[in-house]
Structure 1
Amino acid sequence: MRSGLVLALLLLALGSAVEARHTLAKIRRDDRSLILVAQPLGFGEGGRLNITVSNFELWRPGNASGTKTGPFHKIGFFITTPAAEGQLELDLAEHKCPLDSKDITITLFTFDALDPESGAVTREFRLADMLLDYTGGEFSLFFANCEQDSAIDFNIEVSLYNVRGDRIDYLPVGEDMLPFIYFTMFVLFTTLGVVWTGMVIKGGGDSHKIHYLMIVLITFKSLTVLSQAFMFHTISIYGDAEGWNIAFYIFTACRSLLFFVVVILLATGWSYMKPFISDKEKKLLMVVIPLQAIANVAIIYLDEFTPAAESWFTWRDILHLVDIVCCCLVLFPIVWSIKQLRDASETDGKVVRTLVKLTLFRQFYIMVVCYIYFTRIIVYLLESTLPYPYIWLAAAASELATLAFYIASGISFRPMPAGANPYFQLTEEEAIELTKADEDP
């Protein structure tokens, strides 16, 4: 209940809503000179933007109320490429207005176009009409307020889409492959789930509680990627997730909870070598699991909000930091298990049995570290550096890494008779060293 309340409060605090590529934002008494309205988006040859602004007011120091009368030629919207965004910051530092930087920006319209009576304006823009030799590109949408010592109020609705033939596609170039990617992953995870379930059933008495919990985890992972596939497919056609995002949030929360529960339980040997969880491990579970679930769902939900909200970047950084910290905390049970096994190998007479368990957990530790590093660091770098038509490769890499981690964990901890799992076998060199150690007085 407490975790759900925290998540609800967090989501309410985020502000302006985005439905797919339809951005709905309310800006209130905002004195920022530059506001990112829409993050870099890949447009094809038929790329278009539709912008509606209403309820505009300009606030100046000493004025008790806002004004709707111009001139407002220093306030408006423009687009630019991601490569030029760094220059915008330099121009602002030199008190240059981005609306005047014709070399790096394309001004869409200024607020002089607003109807003084209604304070509203609607404009549609075709990128092919504004750019010479245009065949596609990646652009960000910005709002600029170059009026000194002023703040602004307005409501904005933005639609970003591509026209392909006689069809409107609301997915940007680079993300139009995502429905296929996620449905393919659904097939692969479902196949993995069927194979794993068969192994658990066949294992009979050698199957432990953790093996059945892993079946549930794979099931929720399959449902997660299936809901993603339908969500992006629906967005592509209608511009809105039509409820599939809700299913995605639910399955993601369940999958996040189960994933870290399974990793921690495997790392502590629960149900596999010992039928209990220590108090220290219980406390870690109580802290890491709720935080990880909240962070995962909130990060996804945050992506559906416009960065025009003043707190958007702050929440993004906080949530990603929480996610990384939780991933690092998951490593502690593995370290504890390795330390306990190392100490046991030095004190008891069952050196061989203890050493093979130690080898198991060392390799599992390396697997978890590699998985976290790849999905949190490498995938982020791919998203940041890949050309926009190939951004789908980052999502594919993340899902394939998850599939590989599931398969490797399943092979390592599969239900088999004691001593039959090759993962527990010592190398010849280790066996010789242990034999010598036993023969020494």
Structure 2
Amino acid sequence: MFGRLAPFLLIPLLFSLFSPSGAEIKTLKITSDSRAIILFEEFGFTVSGEVSVTVSNVSFPSSSSDELFGFFLVSDARMLQLVHDSEQPNQSPAPLPSCALQSTYVEQLFTFHEVVATPSHNFTKLFAVGRDGHPAHPDEYGLYFANCAPDAFVSMTVRTEMYNVRPDGTRDYLSVGQSAVPSIYAFFSVAYFAGLITWAYICFRNRLDAHRIHLLMAALLLAKALDLLFAAEDLHYTRSTGTPHGWDILFYVFKFVKGVLLFTVIVLIGTGWSFLKPFLQEREKKVLAIVIPLQVIANIASAVIGETGPFLKGWVKWKQIFLLIDVACCCAVLFPIIWSIRTLKETSKTDGKAARTLAKLTLFRKFYIAVIGYLYFTRIVVYALKTITSYKYRWASVMAEETVTFAFYVFMFYMFRPKERNEYFVLDDDEEEAAEAALREEEFEL
């Protein structure tokens, strides 16, 4: 039977690698659930870490033993060993237990036997990591519920608290790896507000050459700054009290606005709107009509993932939906840039302005490379950093992501800032001839 649990153990472990560890005080309700393994939360503990689990309103089949249901803690490394041994039972030196609760790799917290023994059926267990004679040591642990009775449906209300105790006795509800994240978000929020002031000055100084796209870019900077500000406040209050006090709502609102504006700005810049032409073609409108609804769905999926956690039955599906939509948006925003590059190449053959066309072509190629680099780093490299980095340094992936994002914003805003047209292309006859030769050579190579 233990071998059947391997997929259930492996899925939450794999998906936990793609989200930073964090926790807060949560009250969750499980209704008629027959899953063998349920991951509630992951958390990085210090030597003074503690876990408090309160279970009430418990319901399970009377024909099943109450010892077959319970909660346990297990580190990521031990979970890998647990899955490996369960998939290869013949190579194990000793028979594997029939239930995850009985495995030597896990730290059992309690079973339903202790819950049922409580007159009110309202049971609370406090577990001190690395203290009070417990064999556990500081690490990143997952809090799991195990149902070792086949096809048994369980209902219960679970309240979880995971925190580290500071030297002064106060509680820190953020995982070890997230302790520095609020400061990182606050720092970059200030940087984006400074960027917004600088951008407003540039647009005002060159107001005769500013376009509607520049106003949209200013709105993007404001949304990004507020997104990081409310993210910092969300984590700050969660760290101190265990709940975000409503800051999470503002965080999701401005995260949504920022996401929609970012992809919209990239698409509009990629089409050359306001720079090359004052209108959008039908195919470009279709890209926007696809990207914006996809971003709405992606942000809803992100909110579900962030607020519910992996205990939800459809959590894995929501995670997959978010990843697929994100990939689709990343691919969609590249098409307008490619179309603009092709249009410029075709125009260069007939407009007689080779130098101007070559300069624009070079500009859009740089933008195309920058967009690909930004998307690749934030979608792939950052996930790799989260996977290989120790739980104590998970903040490093956040720092890397925000640094690269800020660099991308600086590049994009600098390359497409408002300025006089003739300053872009102050050319003489020799430069014009050199540009024509470069375009002919490029066409020949293609």
TM-score range, shorter chain: 0.7 to 0.9
Contact (CA 8 Å) 2:203, 2:210: kept in 1 or not?
A: yes
The structural deviation recorded for 1:437 is: 7.8
Single out whichever of 122-131 and 322-331 deviates more from structure 2.
122-131
Q: What residue is the counterpart of 1:54 in the other structure?
A: 56
Distance 2:345 2:220 in 1: 30
Single out whichever of 237-246 and 120-129 deviates more from structure 2.
120-129
The structural deviation recorded for 1:430 is: 9.1
The structural deviation recorded for 1:42 is: 0.6
The structural deviation recorded for 1:258 is: 1.2
The structural deviation recorded for 1:434 is: 2.1
The structural deviation recorded for 1:376 is: 0.9
Describe how 1:262-411 pairs up with structure 2 within 5 A.
262-411=265-414
Q: What residue is the counterpart of 1:9 in the other structure?
A: none
Contact (CA 8 Å) 1:70, 1:112: kept in 2 or not?
A: no
Deviations 1:26-67 (A, max 9, x none): 2222222211121x31111211100011222223xxxxxxx3
For 2:222, give the aligned amino acid. T
Q: What residue is the counterpart of 1:62 in the other structure?
A: none
Distance 1:325 1:386 in 2: 28
Aligned to 1:73, which of 53, 57, 67? 67
SS of aligned partner of 2:229? helix
The structural deviation recorded for 1:199 is: 0.8
Q: What residue is the counterpart of 2:255 in the other structure?
A: 252
Q: Is 1:173 aligned with 2:173?
A: no
Contact (CA 8 Å) 1:92, 1:98: kept in 2 or not?
A: no
Cα 1:291–1:435 shift into 2, 3 Å: closer
Q: What residue is the counterpart of 2:160 in the other structure?
A: 158
The structural deviation recorded for 1:333 is: 0.6
Describe how 1:193-212 pairs up with structure 2 within 5 A.
193-212=196-215
SS of aligned partner of 1:340? helix
The structural deviation recorded for 1:432 is: 2.8
For 2:80, give the aligned amino acid. G
Q: What residue is the counterpart of 2:34 in the other structure?
A: 31
Q: What residue is the counterpart of 2:17 in the other structure?
A: none
Q: Which runs of 5+ in 1 are unaligned?
A: 1-18, 60-66
The structural deviation recorded for 1:23 is: 2.7
Q: Is 1:97 aligned with 2:99?
A: yes
Distance 2:226 2:427 in 1: 36
The structural deviation recorded for 1:88 is: 3.0
Aligned to 2:122, which of 112, 115, 120? 120
Aligned pair count reads 408
Cα 1:170–1:144 shift into 2, 3 Å: same
Contact (CA 8 Å) 1:76, 1:108: kept in 2 or not?
A: yes
Contact (CA 8 Å) 2:358, 2:435: kept in 1 or not?
A: no
The structural deviation recorded for 1:303 is: 1.7
For 1:434, give the aligned amino acid. E
Deviations 1:304-326 (A, max 9, x none): 21311111111111111111111
Aligned to 2:236, which of 233, 238, 241? 233
Distance 1:48 1:392 in 2: 21
Q: Is 1:108 aligned with 2:109?
A: yes
The TM-score with structure 2 as length reference comes to 0.85
Distance 1:52 1:140 in 2: 16
Distance 2:177 2:129 in 1: 17
Cα 1:348–1:168 shift into 2, 3 Å: same
For 1:187, give the aligned amino acid. V
Q: What residue is the counterpart of 1:3 in the other structure?
A: none
The structural deviation recorded for 1:296 is: 3.0
Distance 2:356 2:186 in 1: 43
Single out whichever of 225-234 and 113-122 deviates more from structure 2.
113-122
Deviations 1:134-180 (A, max 9, x none): 66211111111222342322221111111102211111101111111
Deviations 1:88-115 (A, max 9, x none): 334555573211211x111111111013
Cα 1:436–1:204 shift into 2, 3 Å: closer
SS of aligned partner of 1:398? helix
The structural deviation recorded for 1:293 is: 3.4
Single out whichever of 301-310 and 271-280 deviates more from structure 2.
301-310
The TM-score with structure 1 as length reference comes to 0.86
Q: What residue is the counterpart of 1:82 in the other structure?
A: 76
Provide the identity percentage: 38
Distance 1:220 1:148 in 2: 49
SS of aligned partner of 2:307? coil
Contact (CA 8 Å) 2:374, 2:404: kept in 1 or not?
A: yes
The structural deviation recorded for 1:435 is: 4.9
Distance 2:402 2:427 in 1: 31
Distance 2:438 2:264 in 1: 40
Distance 1:310 1:267 in 2: 40
The structure 1 segments of at least 4 consecutive aligned residues displaced by more than 4 Å after TM superposition are 90-95, 130-135, 428-431, 435-438
Deviations 1:372-401 (A, max 9, x none): 111111111112221111111111111111
Single out whichever of 239-248 and 113-122 deviates more from structure 2.
113-122
For 2:383, give the aligned amino acid. Y
Distance 1:149 1:340 in 2: 61
For 2:184, give the aligned amino acid. I
Distance 1:193 1:309 in 2: 39
Aligned to 1:22, which of 21, 25, 31? 25
SS of aligned partner of 1:174? helix
Distance 1:259 1:137 in 2: 37
Distance 1:115 1:425 in 2: 86
Q: Is 1:214 aligned with 2:217?
A: yes
Deviations 1:221-272 (A, max 9, x none): 1111111111111111111110111111111111111111111111111111
The structural deviation recorded for 1:419 is: 3.6
Q: Is 1:138 aligned with 2:140?
A: yes
Contact (CA 8 Å) 2:294, 2:329: kept in 1 or not?
A: yes
Cα 1:20–1:119 shift into 2, 3 Å: same
Contact (CA 8 Å) 2:36, 2:146: kept in 1 or not?
A: yes
